[in-house]
A and B are shown apart, each in its own frame.
Chain A
Amino acid sequence: MKTVRVLIVDDHRLFRSGVRAELGPSIQVVGEAEDVESAVATIAELEPDVVLLDVHMPGGGGVEVLRRVLGSGAQVRFLALSVSDAAEDVIGVIRGGARGYVTKTISGAELTDAITRVADGDAVFSPRLAGFVLDAFASTEAPPIDPELDSLTQREREVLRLIARGYAYKEIAKELFISVKTVETHVSSVLRKLQLSNRHELSRWATARRLV
């Protein structure tokens, strides 16, 4: 199996070394960065396969890194990693272009799995992210502007529900009598909708969740 070259971007040194130690042998950590500037520079220099991106960082946070790197047309994939569960952060970083979102409490094995998945071009949804997406797409009464992008199919909903219930992709495939590849296709399709939908409700929903 081909090793995945990973760059860790996080402003906490302890956390970077912790992640480095936990990752499986199929992952090769090629570098670390601790803020937006050094992250942008290091990504351009090392061209990693996957960037593990912290959401909260000095100098604009993960969203700023995404904007600058993806804005320049680089072909690098991002997996967001954060302690925050705020809907605004989660939806913000996904809409910024990250291929997935996991919380920092994730185990080393699960993180290794998630990185491999992102490197293969798939999306990684944590149960919480799946819950956010279901909530965001359900919470509108307004008719969709673009039906293809602005609503989820029945199947996508089922897949997201199972993720929210704590099912792994393999378990979802078994439950729905489909292949793991099909599960991945559905999740990627949801990710695309999440990123491309112009629905204002998405951002508004995320902001409203933040308000007390």
Chain B
Amino acid sequence: MRPRAGRVVAGVAQGAAAQLRLDPVVLRLAFVLLTILDGVGVVAYAALWMFTATEQTEHPHGSRDWGQVAAYGLLGFAFGALALVSGAAAGGLAMWPIAVGGIGSLILWQQAEPGRRQKWMTSTVGRVRATWVRSGIGLLLVGVGVIGFLAAQDQLAQASTGLVFTGVVLGGVALIAAPWLAGLWRELQKERTERIRQEERAEVAAHVHDSVLHTLTLIQRAAHDPREVTRLARSQERDLRNWLYMPKQDADATLAAAVRRAAAEEEDAHGVPIEIVCVGDCDLDDGLRAMVHATRQSMVNAAKYSESPVVSVYLEVEPGEATVFVRDRGKGFVLDDVPDDRMGIRQSIIGRMERFGGTARVKTAPGEGTEIMLTMKRTTP
């Protein structure tokens, strides 16, 4: 069955391709190649033309795509010239590269998915049509090359002339193929960008699904418990914010990241918002790690005992030292009243800081809230 629409010459290749579930382009190329090698292609095409019926459907505009006709004609002409020049038509050794190349491109062509093949084809045809001038020049060069070659054959002694015209032929072929190759390259680039974009979208979707949607579900289930709702919302907000705005930091490597992580964990554990502001950052060392622990203990104290609605943490890294302030507006206490066996302040905060050569200062009074200031010398860059 030969369709009427979309045919290049008589629709033979298209019809056969539909039957064999191949791309018509493959068959077209096969016909072109067969024609070059020993003329079988033309005979086969003519025979198929005669023996297959024309499709009887209403395609009033079964118009021929002249751009494609030209493209295949040029291709056949170029290959023919090349075969002639290299002696491939006579079945010489030079035929092998052409055969291998042809099979290779056919395999490549088949590997590609239909959509992409379609895109390649449309871009090629569109380009060929849009650049008639270029094709014309290519054709001219091929022609000049062939004529020149034929002329030069009479004077084989002057092999150099023959080489020059071979060069001209190849130049012509390159000129024809160049826009196609360029289009192919652009197409592949576009495809790549598109794929990266899709991957990013998938990542965002996955994140939203895993965290945000999940939290919203939990919030609905915990609707009766305002404290839990606040905690969930707050934790999700922090998570999303970090994901959107924060540079990815290694919480085991830098001070600011470690303090942020400690704050996030204690906020989750105690349900009290911990506002954190960091100025500067540096790598962790033993002293600074101790300071992170002391900071964490200060946050725990504030969240658990102060009854303050919010805890503020401020970290500043200066060239010589790092300072942390942990402040609440809670009920405060009298430091001297804290019994010696209460490990929190004396051991986990003051003692720990002093063991590593740092200092801890506690400023508090009943009803005035509490502020703990931790300072540690830096040894890291």
Q: Which of B275, B280, B316, B371 makes the CB contact (< 8 A) with A127?
A: B275
**A120: interface (CB < 8 Å):** no
- Chain A residue, CB-CB nearest to B363: A175
Tell me whether A131 and B277 are in contact in the complex, defined as CB-CB below 8 angstroms, given that A161-B314, A165-B314, A166-B327 are known contacts. Answer: yes
Return chain A residues, CB-CB under 8 Å to B325: 165
Tell me whether A138 and B279 are in contact in the complex, defined as CB-CB below 8 angstroms, given that A165-B325, A165-B327 are known contacts. Answer: yes
Tell me the bound Cα distance from A164 to B277 in angstroms: 6
Tell me the bound Cα distance from A127 to B274 in angstroms: 12
Stretch at the interface among B77-85, B171-179, B187-195, B240-248: B240-248
Q: Which of B231-269 contact A (CB under 8 A)?
A: 237, 241, 244-245, 247-248
**A57: interface (CB < 8 Å):** no
B279 touches A165 (CB 8 A): no
A135 touches B241 (CB 8 A): no
Tell me whether A84 and B245 are in contact in the complex, defined as CB-CB below 8 angstroms, given that A164-B277, A164-B314, A166-B275 are known contacts. Answer: yes
**B359: interface (CB < 8 Å):** no
Give the A interface residue count (CB, 8 A): 21
Return chain B residues, CB-CB under 8 Å to A86: 244-245
Tell me the bound Cα distance from A161 to B277 in angstroms: 10
**B212: interface (CB < 8 Å):** no
Q: Which of B245, B275, B278, B280 makes the CB contact (< 8 A) with A210?
A: B245
Q: Give 1 or 0 for each of B276-295: 1 = CB within 8 Å of chain A CB.
A: 01111000000000000000
B280 touches A209 (CB 8 A): no
Q: Which of A85, A167, A211 makes the CB contact (< 8 A) with B241?
A: A85
Return chain B residues, CB-CB under 8 Å to A134: 279, 316
Tell me the bound Cα distance from A84 to B245 in angstroms: 8
- The residue in B275, B278, B314 that gathers the most chain A C-beta atoms within 10 A of its C-beta is B314
CB distance from A106 to the nearest CB of B (A): 11
Tell me the bound Cα distance from A165 to B327 in angstroms: 7
B247 touches A212 (CB 8 A): yes
B312 touches A135 (CB 8 A): no
Return chain B residues, CB-CB under 8 Å to A165: 277, 312, 314, 325, 327, 371
Tell me the bound Cα distance from A209 to B244 in angstroms: 12
CB distance from B316 to the nearest CB of A (A): 7
B241 touches A161 (CB 8 A): no
Tell me the bound Cα distance from A161 to B316 in angstroms: 9
CB distance from A122 to the nearest CB of B (A): 21
**A192: interface (CB < 8 Å):** no
- Chain B residue, CB-CB nearest to A133: B279
**A130: interface (CB < 8 Å):** yes
- Chain A residue, CB-CB nearest to B237: A105
CB distance from A123 to the nearest CB of B (A): 17
A164 touches B279 (CB 8 A): yes
Q: Give 1 or 0 for each of B144-171: 1 = CB within 8 Å of chain A CB.
A: 0000000000000000000000000000
CB distance from A43 to the nearest CB of B (A): 29
Tell me the bound Cα distance from A9 to B202 in angstroms: 33
CB distance from B215 to the nearest CB of A (A): 16
CB distance from A151 to the nearest CB of B (A): 15
CB distance from B122 to the nearest CB of A (A): 36
**A117: interface (CB < 8 Å):** no
Return chain A residues, CB-CB under 8 Å to B244: 86
B314 touches A85 (CB 8 A): no
Tell me the bound Cα distance from A138 to B310 in angstroms: 28
**A199: interface (CB < 8 Å):** no
CB distance from A31 to the nearest CB of B (A): 29
Q: Give 1 or 0 for each of B314-340: 1 = CB within 8 Å of chain A CB.
A: 101000000001010100000000000
Tell me the bound Cα distance from A43 to B310 in angstroms: 36
Return chain A residues, CB-CB under 8 Å to B278: 131
Return chain A residues, CB-CB under 8 Å to B329: 166
Tell me whether A211 and B247 are in contact in the complex, defined as CB-CB below 8 angstroms, given that A127-B312, A161-B316, A166-B312 are known contacts. Answer: yes
Return chain A residues, CB-CB under 8 Å to B275: 127-128, 166
Q: Give 1 or 0 for each of B293-316: 1 = CB within 8 Å of chain A CB.
A: 000000000000000001010101
- Chain B residue, CB-CB nearest to A107: B309
- Chain B residue, CB-CB nearest to A167: B327
Q: Which of B241, B248, B277 makes the CB contact (< 8 A) with A130?
A: B277
Return chain A residues, CB-CB under 8 Å to B310: 166
Tell me the bound Cα distance from A105 to B248 in angstroms: 24
Tell me the bound Cα distance from A212 to B200 in angstroms: 15
Tell me whether A85 and B245 are in contact in the complex, defined as CB-CB below 8 angstroms, given that A131-B279, A138-B280 are known contacts. Answer: yes
- Chain A residue, CB-CB nearest to B281: A135
Tell me the bound Cα distance from A137 to B244 in angstroms: 24
Q: Give 1 or 0 for each of A52-85: 1 = CB within 8 Å of chain B CB.
A: 0000000000000000000000000000000011
B279 touches A135 (CB 8 A): yes
Q: Which of A181-212 contact B (CB under 8 A)?
A: 209-212
Q: Shortest 5 CB-CB distances between A and B: which pairs?
A: A166-B312, A131-B277, A165-B314, A165-B325, A164-B277
13 contacts between A and B (CB under 8 A): A85-B245, A86-B244, A86-B245, A128-B277, A130-B277, A131-B278, A131-B314, A134-B279, A134-B316, A164-B277, A164-B316, A165-B327, A166-B314
Give the interface of B toward A (CB within 8 A): 237, 241, 244-245, 247-248, 275, 277-280, 310, 312, 314, 316, 325, 327, 329, 371
Other A-B pairs, 8, CB within 8 Å; known A165-B371, A209-B247: A127-B312, A127-B314, A128-B275, A134-B279, A139-B280, A165-B325, A166-B275, A166-B310
